[in-house]
Structure 1
Amino acid sequence: MSLSISKVKSLLFSLLIATSMHVSADEKCDVELGHGLIITDSVIRILDNGQTRVQINNDNQLLVRGRWVKLDDQETLVLQEYAKGIRDTVPELVNLATDGVNLGLSAIEQVVEGMSDNNPEVLKTQLQYVERALMDKFKRGEDFYFIAPQSLSKIDDFFTKEISGKIHSAVHGSLGAILVSVGDAFKSREGNIESRFSDMGQRMEIISKEIDKSLQQKAYQLEEKANEYCECLNSLDNTEKRLQDIVPSLAAFDLVQIRS
């Protein structure tokens, strides 16, 4: 069975939609992170314009603007509760965000590799833009997590608009090079163009189904976590206010901001 160019484009678009729908939950928290965060095993840093303004060492030592703040035992317990709230919430958000996008990018690469013997350079360049946009918001390494200041209630907009738009550009920018490659193969008698198109469609449909399964599971995870995030973030906001009462200078670096 032959596969038309319009069918190829349709399948690509279906795959694009699937990869862009992975962050959606019925419940949303109207919460903003007012500052960026870097979290390691021993240190939490609250950032303002890329510079560390608040640092918590080993969850029990506080520095504000580089100056150590002396706390008594009861006050240290509040600090520890605050640090625990951050650690219980933010790394998981970063993991969910980066895992979802990496799945989508990997799928796009698999589709393109299945359609052409050569991976078009335009795809590599465009996917680098996608990864860069992601890392500006969420990043994780072997020993750290990073999240930028942002509205947590609009994380889905970031993925369904900005990220999906960049993936859309990557796929459609590569499509021309893919079709040229297939046409060249046909002209040089390296293969039958109809069978190549048919193979493209089969590969894309298989991959798309697998992505759908993974993304449905991820959407379910996010839906299950939505209320838990709301409770954790509200609790974290309350703990932050208690800590600000103890250390008034922390109010200048208010991290959790509840809008509702």
Structure 2
Amino acid sequence: MALLSRSLLAAAIAFSSFSSYASLEKKQCEVELSHGLIITDDVIRIVDKGQTRVQINNNNQLFIRGYWVDLNPEETKVVEQFSLGIRDTVPELVELATDGVNLGLSAIEQVVEGMSDKEPEVLKTQLQYVERALMDKFKRGDDFFFIAPQSLSKIDDFFTKEISQKIHSAVHGSLGAILVSLGDAFKSREGNIEDRINDMGQRMDIISKEIDKSLQKKAEQLEMKASEYCECLNSLDVTESRLQKIVPGMADFDLVQIKS
């Protein structure tokens, strides 16, 4: 039993690789998205309290509060630059964020499946909490990307505190259920319990190392993108300022805010 407990603890520690994930964002400039964004192939929507406030169709048609804004060709180019700037940055950020967490969730499930014949109910509940928290901030579907209003320089807090804490709760919460399951198996003499524990311990060690390796790779990918995000978002802020001068109504929904 002690071996199994140590192995499960090792797996939990492996998930602390999210801390590596966290340190990256500190290198970025202080950028805030003051409104949510929904991005599809043809449409960008700036949303506030569940309502679409600004919509850009096909990168060149601008609507504010549902009303089409008539623009000349030069003004339309600014709208296009703003739209493409959003598309060049936000979808990739959402992809990287969701991929990192989904990797961790998948790894937890692999670990627990190797431990017990059935997945503990506490694990299902905790993983639902993780997924819900993630989807409130980042969401990716087959044909859309969503990012909620947030400080992009504090994404690390979201992952290392909220998400990481929920992942650790899922692992530790499952531990008790697994030990109970193993105890029941021992009482009913279902197979050799010592062999099962040894095998599980070895599998846990392997899986923990793979989790750590995969998350570290994800962290390195994010690190490479950190300065690029900063440059893109600074440029996007400049373009947005130009657009606000052309269309004053855009100032009511200032999307990108740089905090010096």
TM range (shorter): over 0.9
Q: For the Cα contact (< 8 Å) 1:56–1:62, is it kept in 2? A: yes
1:140 is matched by which residue type in structure 2? R
Q: Which residue number in structure 1 is paired with residue 248 of structure 2? A: 248
Q: Which residue number in structure 2 is paired with residue 14 of structure 1? A: 13
Q: For the Cα contact (< 8 Å) 2:44–2:57, is it kept in 1? A: yes
Shift of 1:92: 0.3
Q: Which residue number in structure 2 is paired with residue 163 of structure 1? A: 163
Matches within 5 A, 1:65-214: 65-214=65-214
Shift of 1:12: 3.3
Match of 1:41, SS state, is coil
Q: For the Cα contact (< 8 Å) 1:115–1:199, is it kept in 2? A: no
Match of 1:22, SS state, is helix
**Aligned counterparts of 2:192 and 2:20: Cα–Cα separation in 1:** 35
Q: Name the TM-score, length of structure 2 as normaliser.
A: 0.96
For 1:148-196, what per-residue CA distance to the aligned partner results, in whole angstroms no more than 9, with x for missing partners? 0000000011000000111111111111110011111111111222222
1:11 is matched by which residue type in structure 2? A
Shift of 1:16: 3.0
Q: Name the TM-score, length of structure 1 as normaliser.
A: 0.96
Shift of 1:54: 0.2
For 1:54-86, what per-residue CA distance to the aligned partner results, in whole angstroms no more than 9, with x for missing partners? 000001000000110000000000000000000
**Aligned counterparts of 1:9 and 1:208: Cα–Cα separation in 2:** 9
Q: How many residues align?
A: 259
Q: Unpaired runs of 5+ in structure 1?
A: none
Q: For the Cα contact (< 8 Å) 1:35–1:255, is it kept in 2? A: yes
**Aligned counterparts of 2:20 and 2:201: Cα–Cα separation in 1:** 21
Matches within 5 A, 1:17-96: 17-18=16-17, 21-25=20-24, 27-96=27-96
Shift of 1:89: 0.2
2:98 is matched by which residue type in structure 1? T
Q: Which residue number in structure 2 is paired with residue 224 of structure 1? A: 224
Q: For the Cα contact (< 8 Å) 1:3–1:198, is it kept in 2? A: no
**Aligned counterparts of 1:72 and 1:143: Cα–Cα separation in 2:** 30
**Aligned counterparts of 1:185 and 1:97: Cα–Cα separation in 2:** 40
Distance 1:5 1:216, change over 3 A: closer
Q: For the Cα contact (< 8 Å) 1:90–1:147, is it kept in 2? A: yes
For 1:217-253, what per-residue CA distance to the aligned partner results, in whole angstroms no more than 9, with x for missing partners? 1111111111100100000000000000000011010
Q: For the Cα contact (< 8 Å) 1:82–1:236, is it kept in 2? A: yes
**Aligned counterparts of 2:68 and 2:80: Cα–Cα separation in 1:** 16
Q: Unpaired runs of 5+ in structure 2?
A: none
Q: For the Cα contact (< 8 Å) 2:8–2:171, is it kept in 1? A: no
Q: For the Cα contact (< 8 Å) 2:11–2:207, is it kept in 1? A: no
Shift of 1:4: 2.9
Runs of 4+ in 1 over 6 A off after TM superposition: none
**Aligned counterparts of 1:186 and 1:155: Cα–Cα separation in 2:** 45
Distance 1:203 1:18, change over 3 A: farther
Match of 1:29, SS state, is coil
Distance 1:182 1:174, change over 3 A: same
2:150 is matched by which residue type in structure 1? Q
Match of 1:4, SS state, is helix
Alignment RMSD (CA, Å): 1.4
Q: For the Cα contact (< 8 Å) 1:38–1:46, is it kept in 2? A: yes
Shift of 1:10: 2.4
**Aligned counterparts of 1:185 and 1:134: Cα–Cα separation in 2:** 36
**Aligned counterparts of 2:194 and 2:6: Cα–Cα separation in 1:** 13
1:231 is matched by which residue type in structure 2? E
